[in-house]
Structure formats: C-alpha cells, structure tokens
A and B are shown apart, each in its own frame.
Chain A
C-alpha cells in the first residue's frame, strides 16, 4: 500500500514532458524541476532499458573507466612501424577506421594507399600499385587492430616511423605516425614526388632525430602535456597550437644535444615549428593507449573506439570485444577554406576521433574558445558542447581540467546506453578532407556519428546481458 507520508510532506515535483504542466505548477507557486526531455534513439523501449539498468553493467563500467583514467602513456621512442607494430609485414597497409575493402574505399584513402606503395617501392607507378592491389597481394587492415591510430587516411606502411608510447600502468603500447603537415600530404591522399620525398625525409631524418631526442629526454608524459595545452586554449584535436609549441620547447635542447648536424637539426625544428598540428599524432596515440586500457571488460557499455575510414563510421565497445558497429560516414558541418564548399568534401574520415573517445577534442571544446568559429558560434557554444557531453559520459577526468568551467574535469568515457537513451551522439571536432586525393584539408568543423552504430551495439549488449551467466564468453 502506498506511503501516506506524501500527504504530510512538501511536494517537490520533477516534470518530464509537456512544459505546460510545469507552467501549471509554477503558477501555483511550486516551481518544479524541469527535465529537458528528448525521445531516445529508435529501438529503445522499456524492455531494453530494463535490461540495461543491470548492476553488472554499472560495475563493469566503473572498472573500465577507472582503467581508462589511470592510464599513463609515456612517449618513449620513434621506431619504424615494421619493428614495433604487431602483425606488420612489408605487404601490410594499415588504414584509419573500421575494416574496408579496396572497392569501397574513398578517394583520399585510395590515394594514400597508392602513395604508400610507391613510398615503400612495392610499386613504381600508380598502375603497378593498382595491379598489386587487384592481385590481392596487399593486406589492408585497420590501424586499430595493431595498437595504432592515424589521422585522416591513417595509412601506415612498414618503413614509416611511428611514435612508441608505453602505458606503464597497464604494460601496453600504442603507436601512431608522425604528422606530415598541412596541404598536399599523404594522409589526404596526395602521392606525388613532393609527398614521397617528404615521407622519406621523415623516415631518414625526422624519425631518427626525434628518437634520439625523446630517449635523451627520458620519455615524455603525454597526458601531462595535453593537460597543459588545455590550459592554453587547445582541445588537442582540431587545435594543437599550444601543445605543439610546448613539445618543441621541451624537445629542442635534446634535439640539439643529440644533433648530427646543425642543418639537419634546424630542418627538424623548422618542420615541427611550421606545423600547428605536429602534436596531434602523439596525442592520438596517448588516447589510444587510454582507450585500450578500458577494453575487454565484460558487460561494460563504455565506448572504446570511434573511427572512420571515409566511407563508414565505426565504434567498438568494451563489453562487446573486437566487434565493429558501423554506419555511413557523415558530412562534416563547418567552415571551408576559400575556394571550397560542401560539394568538395569527403565524408568524415580518420582515427583522430580517438580524442573524443577518451574525452578530449570536441568534448573539451570549452577549453578552446577559438574553435567556436568552426562550429559557427560564440565561445558560449563551445562551452555548451562540452556541457552536453557530461550527460553521456561516465566520469570526469580531473587530470584534464577545463579553465572556463571552473577547472571541471573533462567528460570522459562515453556510455553507449546514455547515447541511445538521450539520443545524443558524441560530438566530434574534425578537419574536412577534399573528396579527391591529394588536395588536402579544405575546412574544419563538427560531425556526429550515425546513431545506428550505437543502437546496434546496444541491442547486442542487451543480448549479452540476457545470456545465462554460464554462457561465459560474454565479452567475446
């Protein structure tokens, strides 16, 4: 029987639904708490919701997100990919995003792959490269399957130098390529001689120089580095100016100390200094290490991967193992550089969404008011985006403080359930690639993943939860 105490207590009402009824209460002098309710994404009914209210999910999420926050990735070296990446052969080409066949790849990704084959001298002309691919002699694989990430096309081939990060807390590694700068570069699908020459310089000069300097410095605490940049107006996805500057400041003495020639060291410092996004790839590898720390927790609804290959957007979820859930890559909404417009844009591409996956990038847009121009708004809009992400995340990362929000920690660890229940996809800051290979970045803006990734994954998680406990391999 019902509780009679209600009749003797002061009514405190929460209103969910018609604002009319909240107005009605306010008119009677009883201001209710008003919930800004939105319908959940398609497919979220009572039964699913009840399944997902499970205590096992809560506990699993807590474990997973705590591991993610506890990760402490240190940049320890730069090595050729074939030396350090698991499962890498000379005939392997890694790419951004979820798995994809050659036939379905977008222009920039194809261009980058042809460039990589030329760079590796597996082919000497584009025709030869295409023939190799058609004969099935090249193995394509997502970076994410090799503890690695790459921005845009994200192409990694055997001899490319990669950053080596070590998460000493969990004893794992993560890797990423070195950033080539803006304009005509491989990651946007360019593959002419200038691009190949640069890649070879990076292999022969930049990589070894950074390797010596990083080792001389005794490694670099990347999270601490990112945290500093957040205090200086970066969100470390679309804006890396401060982070790149700190990096140069930190490494410069070691670059000089370990220098083999002043000209060479000058060229390295000049290259780093001319690229506002030089830090991005290091940050991405750091995020990758953190996300991997949270992976494979049975029953957890934490999103551990968000990545795009230019055709598909894919996510992976801690409690659902290695499986990808994909939907069509979306068009980025944003500002275009002079001379370009929406018609030139490739759909969303790259692994750089690993930033948002662990709670930086667009999730800390409040820390980077200058970014607001890309989203066509004021700094207040940037703050709003960050605030909205707290609603779909599991924790606040106190190591990533946001000055504009009273040093509140970054919203970290996307909960698949909240995304679907609130029908609120994670927000992503990103560059816009030209749809034709080799033209490069033509703008920047924000994009949201297709909701189907999340609804499909959630249905699968519910199925896993409903299996009898003896089924065991729930986290497969």
Chain B
C-alpha cells in the first residue's frame, strides 16, 4: 500500500468540484481511496480519521486552508503516480478553463462583474461563510438583490446585511438560504414548478421545496418564492427578511395567496409576523412548524390560516387560491393503509424502531414531530427536545432521525442532497440493526441536487433489504420524494425505481412520516384515522 500526497498552494476549488475529482481518482484502477480537499484543520482531521493522512505523512508540508491537498492510497507506486497525474491535469484543466482567452476570461470579483454588466440585478453567492459577508455587502452596495446560500455567517453580519438591504430597497435572502424562485427562475436548490397565484416566504429551504412541489402536484403554481435564511425568525434577527418579503408579496399583483413557512420561530417574532400578516388583505397561510397553536393564533384574523404540516400548508394555499386539493386531515389513503399492513405483517418480533436518514432539515423536523406524536422520544442530532439529543450522531438509538444537512456533516464536503455517500453508508448501517423496522429517507429532486438519486439509493435499498433478509428480517423503506415531473431527475422515473426495489414512496413528507410511524405503532390500528 502506498500513500501519496500533493499540495497546490493558493489553489481554491469549491467542494462540489473537489468531490467530483475525489470520485474520479478513487475510481482509478489500483486506487483504494482518494481525497481532494482544501487543507483546512477540519479536513485534515477527517483525513486522519479516514486513515489517508497518517502519522508518517502528517509530518510533511500539508498546507493550510488556502491550499489544495490531494491524497491517494493505492496498491502500487504506479497506481498512485497515475492518480496524482490525473489529479494534476484535472486541476490544470480547471485553472486554464477559468482564465483562458481574453474574450472568455471571467471576472475575478463582483466589482468587476458589475463593471462589465451594469444591468446585473441579483447576486447568487455561495462562497465559504468566512468570506460570504464581504461578497453580499459588495453586492448590496452595487445595488444588487442577494441570494446568499453560504452559512457560517455571524448573526451580527446577518443583521447588518439585512439592515443595509432594507435601506437600499433590496432583497436579502439568506445567509443560509437554500432555495428561492424569482420570476420563475429557481435559485440554489429549486424545483421546476409552474408559475401561478401563490407566493411563498420561507425560512426553510426544504420546506419551501416541499410546499412548492405539492402546490404544483395539486395543479397550481408559484408567483414568487422568497427565502430568508434559517435564522430569520430568531429573536435577534427579528424576521427582517420575512417581513420584507411579506410586504413585497402583498404589493405583487400576481400573488393572490401568501404562504409563510418557518421552523419554530421565536414567539415574539412569530407574533410580529402574524400581526403584519393580519394587516394585509390577501389570504395568508402560516406554517410555523412546531409552534404551539397558542403562539400561532395569537392574532386570529379572517384571512389568516394556520397549518401544522407542510402538506397542509400546500393544500390550504391551493384551496384558498381556488384550486383543487385533498382536504387536510383526511384519513390515510387506501394504498398507504395496505402498505402499512403488509409491512407490519412482515416484521419480526424485536423489529420496532424507525430510523430517519434526512438531507432536509425541515423535512427531518416535520417527520420527527409527527413520529413523536405517536411514538414518543425521537433521538436526533437536531432533537425536538434537548433530552432527545444523541450522544453521538453516528450511532442510532431507539427511534432516531438524523439531519445529514446539519453542519457537523457538511464541513468540507458537499450537501447530502448532492453527495449521497454518508447517507448510503448510514442506510446500510441501520439495516444491520435487528431492531430496525423502518428506514425513512427523504429524496429531494430539482436543480442543484444529485442528478439521479435513485441510481445510488435504489440499489442501496435493495442491498440493505437483501442483507436483512439473509438474517430473516424484512425492513420497510419509506421514501419521502420531493420533486416534480419537470425536474431534471423526473419525479415518475425516480418513483418507479424506488418502487421497483420495494420502497414505499410518498410525495408528502408528512404522509411518509405517518406511514413510518404506523408501521411500528402497535397501539393504534390503521382504522384509527
């Protein structure tokens, strides 16, 4: 076994590009493992854990956060050398591609971009968090609206950016804004949905994706969908972006119905947003997940409607906008009830736990809320209650749901909606646990996401189920599939591949969670609805 190391000074590549390179190196003949990463402290630690950075080579110059580090573990010197050559030429191609001829040379800064094209009106920013505020501020000062995907921006900076945006009459979406749809164009992770009468302001990325997809499924469309970033409704940020977005949608002639989405907001801020919403004449659906009704209905008003799940929010909005949608709170559909019964029948004694493996934080939250309503404690890295926090997110306990999109899993690697690797490994791990009855997965389609998630997850589900079958167990896999037929991955195609391997597929995350709960819930019969 040979380990080889290559350091390129001052050579930045984004995590997606590096993932692609790492994959292509690892796939070379004779290569056992490979990694191309920025040489941050965190990445160095991860490489040591992976056994790629050993005591032997840790003594060598391995660079710093602005340096690119390539590590290859191979069977032979030749294979390692070849891999490093492939890495070199891949990086070289990338660099010269960026700065080739005069005509095609890209601007190197936002400032230059604006000089070249003064008509620019929106900046999509996803640089590492430490530098994101500089970019966002530059954009606002240049008069651009901002979609800021980056996280790890301080609260102080977030407030300063949102204040500056308000002064300049500009939209400040984010930091940590995963998705938005402006004038029919998806930004960040976004699904292809038709335009229509419903406007959304959301502090949750996957929440926005779920609601916009379901609105499309129920036959209507989106006027505008604005993201605010996950912390907007905290006490400190004070809902600045949501209030600005609400105002915009109120004045937008193409928006007839407004949906406001958030994970549990600070109560005072929730009241402030609700009070603002009560002032406007358009019907407004408010889904502040996890908020108690008391908080939500502090200021009831005839045109305010409160939803407790994302799918309820979508259904209410569609009905308010004059469309047709299944009524909220309906009993489980027949096919779901049959599926639950079949899955239950196949369980062996001892198989009693639900294991959730999520890429979307809000989808995980919503699922946990529904699961815990009938199952009690759901252990997690983003627990509903502090006492349900897992000591180690790498190991499940009883009913567990993990958000793989949270920081501890995304430092130095792409979001799990792009890079399936960690969730695939977890899937196999959960299937080995004899107490696992149900594996609950979300699969989020749309621009930006994995190009074909079923190509990785369906075989993994098949393998997991086969491994359990050898042990005499049958594991139910429930997939919460968020997407539309127009998405690049194709909803029907993805659904069919998951169905072929025996997974139960639902486009409503709440329904998927309820089905998962029902399968293991011994107390209530399926007729209980």
Contacts and interface: CB of A to CB of B under 8 A. Distances in A.
A451 to B, nearest CB: 8
A24 B122 contact: no
Contact of B98 (A36, A41, A383): A36
A7 B127 contact: no
Contacts of A37: 12, 108-109, 127, 135
17 contacts: A2-B244, A4-B251, A11-B182, A11-B185, A13-B120, A13-B187, A17-B125, A18-B14, A24-B447, A24-B448, A32-B124, A33-B107, A33-B113, A36-B106, A38-B12, A38-B108, A46-B133
B99 A384 contact: yes
Interface stretch (B142-150, B208-216, B345-353, B378-386): B142-150
Given A24-B448, A35-B108, 12 more contacts: A7-B182, A10-B183, A11-B183, A12-B121, A14-B120, A17-B14, A17-B126, A25-B187, A34-B106, A36-B108, A39-B127, A387-B105
Interface residues of B, number: 72
Given A32-B124, A35-B106, A18 B149 contact: yes
Nearest to B182: A11
Contact of B110 (A16, A21, A383): A16
Contact of A33 (B16, B98, B120): B120
A405 interface: yes
B126 A14 contact: no
Contacts of A22: 124
B283 interface: no
B134 interface: yes
A337 to B, nearest CB: 26
Given A28-B447, A30-B185, A37-B127, A46 B134 contact: yes
Q: Which of A13, A45, A384 has the most CB of B within 10 A?
A: A13
B88 to A, nearest CB: 14
B98 A21 contact: no
Contacts of A6: 121-122, 145, 171, 182-183
B398 interface: no
A21 B149 contact: yes
B114 interface: yes
User: A-B pairs with the 7 shortest C-beta distances?
Assistant: A17-B126, A24-B447, A36-B106, A3-B169, A18-B126, A17-B127, A46-B133
A7 B224 contact: yes
A391 B112 contact: yes
Contact of B245 (A2, A20, A33, A41): A2
Interface string B132-157: 01110101010011000110000001
A44 B447 CA distance: 33
A16 B125 contact: yes
B335 to A, nearest CB: 34
A194 interface: no
B108 A7 contact: no
A327 B484 CA distance: 57
A21 B105 contact: no
A42 B66 contact: yes
Contacts of B117: 12, 14, 33
Interface in B433-483: 447-448
Contacts of A34: 106
Nearest to A41: B66
A25 B14 contact: no
B254 interface: yes
Contact of A421 (B106, B109, B127, B150): B109
A383 B102 CA distance: 8
A132 interface: no
A45 B130 contact: yes
A71 B447 CA distance: 55
Contact of A12 (B122, B131, B134, B245): B122
A2 B186 contact: no
Nearest to A380: B101
Nearest to B11: A38
A17 B139 CA distance: 13
A49 interface: yes
Nearest to A384: B99
B127 A21 contact: no
A2 B126 contact: no
Contacts of A16: 110, 113, 123-127, 135, 139
Interface string A47-61: 001100100000000
A376 interface: no
B186 A24 contact: yes
A200 to B, nearest CB: 46
A17 B117 CA distance: 18
B226 to A, nearest CB: 9
A387 B98 CA distance: 13
Contacts of B252: 4, 7
B42 to A, nearest CB: 15
A1 B172 CA distance: 11
A35 B139 CA distance: 12
Contact of A3 (B133, B135, B170, B183): B170
A27 interface: yes
A259 B346 CA distance: 111
Contact of A422 (B16, B108, B126, B171): B108
A89 B105 CA distance: 52
A435 B132 CA distance: 44
Contacts of A1: 166, 169, 244, 247-248
B196 interface: no
A435 B118 CA distance: 52
A384 B100 CA distance: 7
Contacts of A18: 14-16, 126, 149
B188 interface: yes
A275 interface: no
Contacts of A10: 183
Tell me which of B64, B99, B102, B144 has the highest count of chain A C-beta atoms within 10 A of its own C-beta.
B102
Contacts of B145: 2-3, 6
Contacts of B109: 35, 37, 391, 421-422
A23 B106 CA distance: 15
A254 to B, nearest CB: 42
A28 B190 CA distance: 11
A58 to B, nearest CB: 12
Given A24-B186, A39-B127, A50-B137, A14 B10 contact: no
